[in-house]
């Protein structure tokens, strides 16, 4: 009887949120979890497949590809597609997909999960499949270091759960020694653009977890992900169960199990998302033909690379995650590799909305030296921390004449109007993106 009222309240609050134009992703879960019953999810009857995707980055993109393919294959999927991946957002999603008796009305429950919230989400009911994309330094004020995150993930693992792990990441590969149940592995073979040595001394995991000797790398994809082994033969990447080969980022394609898969973006994070999604789908019995058909017939635009047209400019908006140096690295690398002269917009008003601290030490882990390139002629800095960013860019030896400090979004728009080259790339806080879109739309309506 209790679950009846919890489901009813959750659905009602969600309806009211939608009625007043709100997202409703977390507020219903807040009422249920924080006010009424923290054990609400333990009363739910889950479907046959419960897939939880976690990791420092890439979980949202991976989930979107899994959802897209399962929909195409005829599965009924419950998914927290709003991106609310903490316990409140997950509670909202699960209860909204429940019948009033607490039984979920779906074939697959697919959840993007915050790494630190897994232990809050899965207290009793556990996922059948846990996908771990990577573990890197991410939000250090909240997470501390990746080992703390790894230990939190360990708390929910049971022997009957199948782990799907990225063995290119040596930290994630440690789960081979931790988990006593089934493990399926994935990774990416050597690709053009791999490096022999990191540009900065910011590798998150460099030593063998058994003998503690430094790992030897044949190459790095980025960060600490790549082909590694211990010189004492105690620890190595090994051969993944599913390995993406013939990865061509220019053509946006790769091959798994002799099957060509199209990518939604010409960057390595898109290749990892596709490989993780493919591996997960194969483990639950979806045929490679069905996966290829779904992913290749309709390549969805990556959320990280949405663009808009303005005054003969193409503005590409890269959703870059604060306090995550590898997220910034991939965006900076992407910008540098694009052809032609281009401008960059960089800035944020908040380090995080989760807490008030404004630690900026993570800026010095980011390879901003990649922006010290002849193809980048202007860097517009905006937001409350623009002077801190200017200081960091000075250490990257970027010509100060290229750097323009911008007061607000209105002034930024004026600069962009006068910018003489076509392509502009943004790495900014979401509020700036929203303001920019609104101002451009209003200007177009006036004309």
Q: Could you tell me the pLDDT band of residue 436, with boundaries at 50, 70 and 90? A: confident
Q: What is the pLDDT of residue 143?
A: 84
Say whether pLDDT at 144 is over 70.
yes
259 Cβ partners below 8 Å, 6+ apart?
Answer: 288, 289, 291, 292
What's the topology of domain 2-297? 3.40.1190
Alpha helices for 254-320 (secondary structure H): 268-283, 288-297
Mean pLDDT of the chain: 92
Decide which of 203 and 211 is more confident.
211
- For residue 191 the two structure tokens come to 């690709």
Residues of the chain with CATH 3.90.190.20: 305-446
| 412 pLDDT higher than 50 | yes
CA-to-CA dists, residue 162 to 52, 240, 284, 437, angstroms = 11, 15, 10, 42
pLDDT at residue 302, rounded to an integer: 46
- The dotted CATH code for 305-446 is 3.90.190.20
Q: Determine the Cα–Cα distance for residues 59 and 122; give it in Å rounded to an integer.
A: 17
pLDDT band at residue 304 using 50, 70 and 90 as cut-offs: very low
Token pair of 99, please? 């019948």
Angle, alpha carbons 316-320-411 (nearest 5°): 60
Work out the pLDDT band at 312, boundaries 50, 70, 90.
confident
Q: Look at the block and give the residue holding tokens 């517009």.
A: 380
Q: pLDDT band at residue 300, thresholds of 50, 70 and 90?
A: low
Place of tokens 């995707």: 53
Q: pLDDT tens across 320-347, in order?
A: 888 888 889 989 999 999 999 999 999 9
Place of tokens 């330094």: 137
**DSSP labels, 50-102:** EEEEESSSSHHHHHHHHHHHHHHTT--EEE-TT---SHHHHHHHHHHTB-TTS
* Three-state secondary structure of 356-410: CCCCCHHHHHCCHHHHCCCCEEEEEEECCCHHHHHHHHHHCCCCHHHEEECCCHH
Q: What is the pLDDT of residues 154-204, one digit of tens each?
A: 999 999 999 999 999 999 999 999 999 999 999 999 999 899 988 777 788
The ranges of the chain annotated as CATH 3.40.1190.10 are 2-297
Q: State the pLDDT at residue 265.
A: 86
Contact 299, 336 (CB under 8 A): no
């Amino acid at each position: 009887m209790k679950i009846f009222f919890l489901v009813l309240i959750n659905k009602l609050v969600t309806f009211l949120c939608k009625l007043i134009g709100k997202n409703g992703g977390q507020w219903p879960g807040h009422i249920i979890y924080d006010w009424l019953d923290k054990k609400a999810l333990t009363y739910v009857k889950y479907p046959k497949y419960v897939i939880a995707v976690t990791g420092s980055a890439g979980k949202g993109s991976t989930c979107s590809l899994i959802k897209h393919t399962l929909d195409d294959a005829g599965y009924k999927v419950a998914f927290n597609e709003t991106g609310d991946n903490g316990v409140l957002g997950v509670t909202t999603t699960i209860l909204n997909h429940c019948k009033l008796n607490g039984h979920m009305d779906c074939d697959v429950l697919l959840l993007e999960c915050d790494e630190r919230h897994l232990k809050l989400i899965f207290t009793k009911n556990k996922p059948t499949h846990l996908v771990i994309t990577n573990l890197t330094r991410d939000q250090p004020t909240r997470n501390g270091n990746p080992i703390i995150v790894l230990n939190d993930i360990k708390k929910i693992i049971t022997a009957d759960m199948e782990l799907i792990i990225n063995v290119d990441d040596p930290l994630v590969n440690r789960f081979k020694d931790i988990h006593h149940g089934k493990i399926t592995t994935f990774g990416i073979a050597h690709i053009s653009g791999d490096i022999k040595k990191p540009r900065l001394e910011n590798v998150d995991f460099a030593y063998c977890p058994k003998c503690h000797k430094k790992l030897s790398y044949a190459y790095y994809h980025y960060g600490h992900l790549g082909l590694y082994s211990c010189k004492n033969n105690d620890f190595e990447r090994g051969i993944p169960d599913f390995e993406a080969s013939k990865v061509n980022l220019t053509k946006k394609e790769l091959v798994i199990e002799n099957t060509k898969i199209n990518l939604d973006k010409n960057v390595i994070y898109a290749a990892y998302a596709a490989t993780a999604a493919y591996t997960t789908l194969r483990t639950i019995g979806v045929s490679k033909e069905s996966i290829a058909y779904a992913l290749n017939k309709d390549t969805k635009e990556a959320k990280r690379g949405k663009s808009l047209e303005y005054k003969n400019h193409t503005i590409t908006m890269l959703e870059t995650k604060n306090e995550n140096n590898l997220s910034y690295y991939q965006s900076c690398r992407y910008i540098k590799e694009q052809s032609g002269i281009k401008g960059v917009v960089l800035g944020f008003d908040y380090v995080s909305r989760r807490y008030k601290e404004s630690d900026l030490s993570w800026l010095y882990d980011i390879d901003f030296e990649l922006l010290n390139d002849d193809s980048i002629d202007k860097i517009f800095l905006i937001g409350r921390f623009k002077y801190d960013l200017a200081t960091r860019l000075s250490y990257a030896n970027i010509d100060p004449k290229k750097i323009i400090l911008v007061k607000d979004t209105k002034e930024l728009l004026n600069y962009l109007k006068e910018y003489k080259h076509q392509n502009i790339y943004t790495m900014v806080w979401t509020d700036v993106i929203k303001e920019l879109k609104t101002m451009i739309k209003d200007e177009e309506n006036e004309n």
